[in-house]
Amino acid sequence: MNFIIILSVLLFFSISGQVNKQHKKERPVIDSHLTLSEALMGKEIPKPNTKNLKIIDVEYYSFDNKLHTGQVVIHKDLAKDIIEIFALIKEKKFPIKKVIPINYYHWSDESSMKDNNTSAFNYRVISGTRTFSAHALGRAIDINPFLNPQVKNGKVFPKGAIYNQYTRGTLTRNSWLTHEFYKRGWRWGGDWKFTQDYQHFEKSK
């Protein structure tokens, strides 16, 4: 009899232990879960601009300190770099607000930036010009754009953003994250002469 009681007590603890373990395994907050064709909806884009694109799932800790999963639409040649870099972002818990393909913002870079959303592919010209941006081929990514705005002729984009290198999630020339991009042959917009685009990394062919 006693033996049976001891056995059932042991069984109870081993089951509750397993349940506890399952609870501890973090379930990410899903920020984006789309197919590539869903992520490209809502805009007419020439085939040459989309034929090399890939959508990749990435995980990161957001400013709520919770693990999130989002998606990056990027040129296939750069997918490996982005996967490696996001693995480090997760490991080091560098905060990324959210990573949602730009069509969620109706293809508006302005809205995405204001929402501090990280994104890569966008079929658009460089603001204020007629030249297509590296984003139009999926060869550029903007990280935490509200914390890392673009500064041009003394004006800040998006409006209301403040670049403060001491704020978490902000990029500088000395950030480990900037160096991970440099190492893989990417250029950082913060190094540009006539405008500083602190959110922007690109890698041309």
Binding site for Zn ion (CB under 5 A): 140, 142, 200
User: Residue 134 Cβ, how far from Zn ion at the closest point, in Å?
Assistant: 7
CB of 154 to Zn ion, least distance (A): 20
Residue nearest to Zn ion (CB): 200
Q: How far is CA 180 from the centre of its chain?
A: 15
Specify the residue, 28 or 172, whose C-beta has the smaller distance to Zn ion: 172
CA distances from 4 to 7, 13, 15, 123 (A): 5, 14, 16, 69
Shortest distance (Å) from residue 135 CB to Zn ion: 6
Compute the distance between CA of residue 68 and CA of residue 89 in angstroms, rounded to an integer.
12
Strands (DSSP E) along the chain, which ranges? Answer: 29-30, 53-61, 67-75, 98-99, 117-118, 140-142, 150-152, 155-157, 187-188, 195-197, 200-202
Cα 72 from Cα 118, distance rounded (Å)? 8
Whichever of 56 and 120 has its CB closer to Zn ion, that residue is: 120
Closer CB to Zn ion, 67 or 126, in the complex: 126
Angle of CA points 122, 126, 132, to nearest 5°: 70
CB of 142 to Zn ion, least distance (A): 4
- DSSP, collapsed to helix, strand or coil, labels residue 87 as helix
Do 146 and 105 contact (CB within 8 A), yes or no?
no
C-beta closer to Zn ion: residue 56 or 140: 140
Least distance to Zn ion, CB of residue 73, Å: 13
CB nearer to Zn ion: pick between 67 and 111: 111
